[in-house]
Amino acid sequence: MRRPKLIATSVVRGSQQGESHGGVYLIDFENQVVEQHVDWNTGEIDFAGRGADRGLRGITFDAGDIYIAASDELFCYDQNFRIKRSWRNPFLKHCHEICRRDRKIFLTSTGFDSLLVFDIDLAAFMWGIHIQRDTQGDWHGNVFDPSSSVGPGPGNRSHINSTFIDEDGIYVSGLHTGALLYINSDNEVREFCSLPGGTHNARPFRDGVLFNDTANNHVRFVTPDRALAMPILVYPENKLSFRGVDNSKVARQGFGRGLTLLSEDLLAAGSSPSTVSLYELRSGRCVDAVNISMDIRNAIHGLEVWPYEG
Domains of the chain, start order:
5-210+290-305 (2.120.10)
Dihedral class, residue 159 (left if φ above 0, else alpha if ψ from -120 to 50, else beta): left
| Nearest to 20, CA basis, from 257, 280, 226, 295 | 295
User: What is the predicted pLDDT for the residue at 252?
Assistant: 84
Q: Are 106 and 116 in contact (CB under 8 A)?
A: yes
How far apart are the two ends of the chain, measured CA to CA in Å? 19
Supply the pLDDT for residue 296. Answer: 87
Check if the beta carbon of residue 293 is closer than 8 Å to that of residue 272: no
Which residues, 6 or more positions from 303, have their beta carbon under 8 angstroms from its beta carbon? 6, 7, 8, 9, 59, 258, 259, 260, 268, 269, 270, 276
pLDDT at 283: 93
Q: What is the DSSP string of 63-97?
A: TTEEEEE-SSEEEEE-TT--EEEEEE-TT--SEEE
* Predicted local confidence at residue 241, as pLDDT: 85
Q: What is the pLDDT of residue 50?
A: 42
**What are the strands of the beta sheet with 266-271, ordered from one edge?**
259-261, 266-271, 275-280, 285-291
How confident is the model at residue 4, as a pLDDT? 84
The pLDDT value given to residue 92: 96
Provide φ and ψ at 216, rounded to 5°: -115, 15
Tell me which long-range contacts 286-294 makes (C-beta under 8 A, separation of at least 24). 286/230, 286/231, 286/233, 288/3, 288/29, 289/233, 290/27, 290/29, 290/32, 290/34, 292/8, 292/10, 292/25, 292/27, 292/34, 293/10, 294/235, 294/239, 294/240, 294/241
Which residues share a beta bridge with 170?
Answer: 165, 183
Question: How far is CA 70 from its chain centroid?
Answer: 11
pLDDT at 228 (0 to 100): 96
pLDDT at 45: 46
pLDDT digits (tens, 9 = 90+) for 63-79: 999 999 998 999 999 99
Question: pLDDT tens for residues 272-282?
Answer: 999 999 999 99
Q: Quote the mean pLDDT of the chain.
A: 90
Q: Looking at the DSSP assignment, which residues form a beta bridge with residue 211? A: 220
Distance separating alpha carbons of residues 139 and 144, to the nearest angstrom: 16
Quote the CA–CA distance of 163 and 140 in Å, as a whole number: 16
- CA distances (Å), origin 134, targets 140, 141, 146, 172, 189: 8, 11, 23, 17, 12
The confidence score (pLDDT) of residue 18 equals 43
Distance CA(86)–CA(141), nearest Å, equals: 28
The Cα–Cα gap between 132 and 144 comes to 14
Point out the residues of the chain with pLDDT beneath 50.
Answer: 15, 18, 43-53
pLDDT for the residue 47: 41
